[in-house]
Amino acid sequence: MAAPYLSIIIPTLNEEGNIGKLLKQVKQQLNGYSNEIIVVDGGANGPSKDNTVKIAKSMGAKAIYDDKGKGSALIRGFKAAHGKIIISMDADLSHRPSELKLLISGIEAGYDICVGSRFMTGGGSSDMPPFRIFGNKVFVTLVNVLYGSRYTDMCYGYRSFSKESLKKMRLTEKGFGIETEINIKAQKAGLKVLEVPSFEKKRALGQGKLRSFNDGFIILKTIARNIGNG
């Protein structure tokens, strides 16, 4: 079978209230593009305890398993992807499927990576309490100063990639440091990155897994770990 043009990678952990609605909307947006949707399910306590995988499979998505965290799930999904363009997207309906075409066109226009930004004109968030906005600002500023980049957002997972760019970055972050690792390694590898405005909605149903302080610390360690090495 010919390789699909697009691969959509969705990490999931107990998202049964959201995944069906999301996949329906994604499929509507991707009508006309050859595509595969890969759900990477699981967490430290094993697979989702609810019907996430059952619903995803019934709607034509492939499901694979990973138990090491969101970053690990994304890396596994990226490796399993066959598409020329690969997109990462959350399962909780925070990311608007109507923005998929913008992310696709960024790669088609010749960029290696296209990242959604909640802090550009036209972007925004109804899912960020003030302390998360503050933390994100600190991380963006640190990365820009340390690595000479000009990002406006950091910890946001709605992104598109050319297949080659993913191979060049050799990603390793297992948890919520993955987006920061991508921003840093893309900059270090001299990849062409385009930020596009994105609006993040509140998680629709279910519980968020990010723990602001623990994961903030992990993000800081990600920033520190990448200083100097290559």
Ligand X SMILES: Nc1nc2c(ncn2[C@@H]2O[C@H](COP(=O)(O)OP(=O)(O)OP(=O)(O)O)[C@@H](O)[C@H]2O)c(=O)[nH]1
Residues that bind ligand X (CB under 6 A): 11-13, 15, 40-43, 66, 69-70, 73, 90-92, 94, 127, 203, 208-210
Least distance in angstroms from the C-beta of 191 to Mg ion: 26
Q: Which is nearer to ligand X, 19 or 114 (CB)?
A: 19
CA-based nearest residue to 75, from 170, 195, 200: 170
From ligand X, Mg ion, none, which one binds at residue 11 (CB under 5 to 8 Å depending on kind)? ligand X
Interaction between residue 203 and Mg ion (CB under 5 A): yes
Q: Is 94 in the site for Mg ion (CB under 5 A)?
A: yes
The item of ligand X, Mg ion, none sharing an interface with residue 66, based on CB under 5 to 8 Å by kind, is ligand X
**CB-CB contact of 175 with 71 (8 Å):** yes
Find the binding residues for Mg ion in span 64-93 (CB under 5 A): 92
Contact 40, 74 (CB under 8 A): yes
Smallest distance, ligand X to C-beta of residue 196, A: 19
Nearest distance in Å: CB 208, ligand X: 2
Which of ligand X, Mg ion, none does residue 73 bind to, with CB < 5 to 8 Å depending on kind? Answer: ligand X
| Burial tier of 51 (Cβ tally within 10 Å: 0-12, 13-18, 19+) | middle
Please name which of 69, 127, 116 lies closest in space to residue 94, comparing C-alpha atoms: 127
161: left (phi over 0), alpha (psi -120 to 50) or beta: beta
> Which one of Mg ion, ligand X, none is in contact with 88 (Cβ closer than 5 to 8 A by kind)?
none
Residue 118 makes contact with Mg ion by CB under 5 A: no
Q: Look up residue 215 and give its two tokens.
A: 């994961």
What are the residues facing 196 on neighbouring strands? 116
Whose Cβ is closer to Mg ion: residue 76's or residue 95's? 95
Smallest distance, ligand X to C-beta of residue 73, A: 3
Q: Residue 134: CB partners within 8 Å, gap ≥ 6?
A: none
Q: Which of these, 17, 55, 25, 24, lies nearest to 39 by C-alpha position?
A: 55
Interface residues with Mg ion (CB under 5 A) are 92, 94, 203
